[in-house]
Structure 1
Amino acid sequence: MLALILSWPDTGNAFDANAYRQPPEHWPAAHTHPEAGEVPELAPLPTLPPVAWHTPATEALGQQLFFDPRLSGSGQHACASCHDPDLGWADGRRFAFGHDRQSGTRNSMSLLNAAWFEQLFWDGRARGLLGQALQPITNPVEMNAELDEVLARLNRSPGYRRAFGEAFGPGPIDADRLAKALAAFERRILSRPNRLDRFIGGQYQLLNDQEIFGLHLYRTKAGCLNCHNGPLYSDGRFHHTGLSYYGRQYEDTGREQATGRAEDRGKFRTPSLRDFQYTAPWMHNGFFPSLRGVLNMYNAGMIGNTRLHPELPPLSPLIQPLHLSRTELDALEAFLATLNRRPVAIRPPEPLMSSTTP
């Protein structure tokens, strides 16, 4: 193929788009920060490894439970209330709301591809899906239920007794079985292959020259690959980007709340960029409804260390002014659009019959 050399206005550099129309191992070298450690290349999602407790029966049961408001104290709030399949498995709000319309303090993280993350929630307080599954149920701001009362309610339901028996075998409905059923369903909440995945697979016509230029910037000058890498477009780590609002309204100390360590103050987990288009508004506080606003903040180097509260640790060394031109920002934004594909629509199942009311 004849190489196409493009000269992009106001970049001062020529760019060969065809350098990316080949397998990733032959792409130009990425420019990464030493503090990022080993940085995996962007890649399609691999097959999810099996676990013994994830079967078709436990997954179907988990789907039933996920949409059932009987897991909440009021009987009016389900897991799907904050993780709506029509809203990218988030809720489209700045802050989640829960019991009695109480407002939370953080944006609902999407459940897409949550099975791949070792630490869940913005502060990483839960270890995997089994560690996460029951926490919203007992959280007083979220579903505000007593776990024992939820289990008793499920055990009084003939439909749930039958469904749990078919999924797990004889025995009462307990916390372990409830967590495994919910986690089994949440494991199947996965992204579909997007345009970048198919481009990497050899369908090189799916990205135009501007989008490929954006891919190049993502891996080089823009520094995105330092944190948003691998098949999840996330390193799963925790970084201080300066948005904790420490000492002000909306203060959130982030990772420190899970570890108790002052050095973790202001750190939040890197969100996945897969299908991010459907999960706005963005950041842990949902303060960014515009993707260009996010890019502009990173381009400026966020707020910079000189404006940080004296009790905050310094920003992550991965946060630096980028000096991207408008043309480069346009290309980066165009590339980011290739990471999205609308998730599969899932409708709530018919509720199981119960012999009791909440």
Structure 2
Amino acid sequence: MLACGVLLVGHAAAQDDALPGSIQAQATVPDIAVLRQLYAGPAATWPRPRLGPGARFTEFAPLPDMPAPGTRAAALAAIGQRLFDDPALSASGQIACASCHNRELGLGDGLRTAFGHDRQRGRRNSLPLYTMAWMRPLFWDGRAVTLEEQALHPMLDPREMASSIPQVEAALHRDAQYREAFAALNGPRPITAADAGAALAAFERTLRPPRSIWTRVMAQGGKGTALLDDAQLRGLHLFRTKAGCAACHNGPLLSDQRFHNLGLTFYGRRLQDTGRYEVTGDPEDVGRFRTPSLLGLPRTAPYSHLGLFRSLANVVAFYNGGGGVERAEPQAGIPVPRKDPLIGKLDLTKAEQADLVAFLETL
């Protein structure tokens, strides 16, 4: 349905006013007793993050409550849940949304990139859907603004479900349960593909990230960091300071919901993917991809929009080395990609990398 994976963004350059008072970004992690003091209070009192050019930071927080669905929305979501698991909406009658978004696989599929119609391989890693109710825009390249719009894309994509509007509507009308359920909501009018999109969107709004150590910490406004062991707490501090991950992974979603080039465009090569540029045509967007949420992260391997990284240790090593390398020579009329200035070598030690992974595993 959606194609997305998980990336982390790091930045090596310090910001002079990054931390309040006398606490400044440090090249080494403070003694654990000092860290326990620094992170004992609510998140707003924690050491400020190490930011960089153009970063927009929102403090860590629990996800905002979503209002309970009304009677109509709940009924629509029930239809959407059935549609999510129903392969009848695909051209082959064999592929459903759940084919790439399996509840047992972190609402992803565990593959580098998904297989779709006629075993065609998709371009990008399947998105874990835990935070769909809050994320905007949608897809790696941001081509959909609403969940209703997003829901139709996979049905019509020739590599995914390879269906068409008439085929989708015909499948809905063939099924007596769909006819009755939609008639109860909309009256006797014909069911449209837009009705299916609305139902799927209503179901996706009910999805939530799994309960984790991090969600328990955030449920206490950040005051629950006693739940973190020493390695996890050191990793949290690195995430906010030396590793610079919080420059892009921040706020309740651990995502700034913006687009960044991490040096993985593969410009002029077999795996070339120009990302956001395909939507906007803006030369500045070549190779930029949306920052995904990190909630539920340990369940959603492999990582990156290409599914290149099998483990969180691989991801941390990638950023520690300064991300990918972009070619500087123009290729095939496409503007040269520019790696985000937030990406640079981090110089994390092996122990620091292990601590950062330990923290990421709490999310």
TM bracket (short chain): 0.7 to 0.9
Distance 2:313 2:197 in 1: 39
8 Å CA contact 2:49–2:247 kept in 1: the answer is: no
Counterpart check, 1:314 vs 2:338: yes
Aligned to 1:287: 308
Among 322, 334, 344, the alignment partner of 2:358 is 334
Aligned to 1:251: 272
Structure 1 segment 145-184 matched on structure 2, within 5 A: 145-184=163-202
Aligned to 1:278: 299
Among 188, 200, 209, the alignment partner of 2:206 is 188
Structure 2, unaligned stretches of length 5 or more?
A: 1-26
CA shift, 1:72, in A, is 0.3
Among 23, 32, 46, the alignment partner of 2:42 is 23
Distance 1:262 1:235 in 2: 21
SS state at 1:109 partner: coil
SS state at 2:289 partner: strand
Distance 2:76 2:194 in 1: 12
Among 95, 119, 122, the alignment partner of 1:101 is 119
CA shift, 1:143, in A, is 0.3
Distance 2:260 2:266 in 1: 15
Aligned to 1:90: 108
Counterpart check, 1:141 vs 2:154: no
Number of aligned residue pairs: give it: 328
- Letter in structure 2 aligned against 1:89: L
Distance 2:348 2:62 in 1: 27
- Letter in structure 2 aligned against 1:338: T
**Is the alpha carbon distance of 1:113 and 1:309 closer, same or farther for their aligned partners in structure 2, counting shifts above 3 Å?**
farther
Aligned to 2:143: 125
Of 186-195 and 70-79, more deviation after overlay is shown by 186-195
> Residue by residue, what CA displacement relative to the aligned partner does 1:32-87 show, whole Å, maximum 9, x if unpaired?
124103x1112211112567796111011000111001000111111111111111
CA shift, 1:262, in A, is 2.1
Structure 1, unaligned stretches of length 5 or more?
A: 1-9, 340-358
SS state at 1:179 partner: helix
Aligned to 1:232: 253
> Residue by residue, what CA displacement relative to the aligned partner does 1:298-321 show, whole Å, maximum 9, x if unpaired?
01111356x555542321111011
> Residue by residue, what CA displacement relative to the aligned partner does 1:126-170 show, whole Å, maximum 9, x if unpaired?
112111011100111100111112102211322110011223344
Distance 1:35 1:205 in 2: 33
Distance 1:171 1:128 in 2: 24
Of 283-292 and 43-52, more deviation after overlay is shown by 43-52
RMSD: 1.9
SS state at 1:105 partner: coil
Among 199, 208, 212, the alignment partner of 2:229 is 208
Among 49, 52, 57, the alignment partner of 1:33 is 52
**Is the alpha carbon distance of 1:50 and 1:259 closer, same or farther for their aligned partners in structure 2, counting shifts above 3 Å?**
farther
Counterpart check, 1:296 vs 2:317: yes
- Letter in structure 1 aligned against 2:133: A
Distance 1:235 1:204 in 2: 23
Aligned to 1:350: none
TM-score for the superposition, normalised by structure 2? 0.86
Distance 2:43 2:256 in 1: 18
- Letter in structure 2 aligned against 1:249: R
CA shift, 1:292, in A, is 1.1
CA shift, 1:234, in A, is 0.8
> Residue by residue, what CA displacement relative to the aligned partner does 1:168-209 show, whole Å, maximum 9, x if unpaired?
344221122111101011111111342123224143431112
- Letter in structure 2 aligned against 1:250: L
Distance 2:68 2:282 in 1: 35
8 Å CA contact 1:44–1:193 kept in 2: the answer is: no
Structure with more relative contact order (C-alpha pairs < 8 Å, separation 6 or more): 2
8 Å CA contact 2:231–2:358 kept in 1: the answer is: yes
TM-score for the superposition, normalised by structure 1? 0.87
Distance 1:117 1:164 in 2: 27
Counterpart check, 1:43 vs 2:67: no
SS state at 2:191 partner: coil
SS state at 1:134 partner: helix
Among 287, 291, 306, the alignment partner of 1:266 is 287
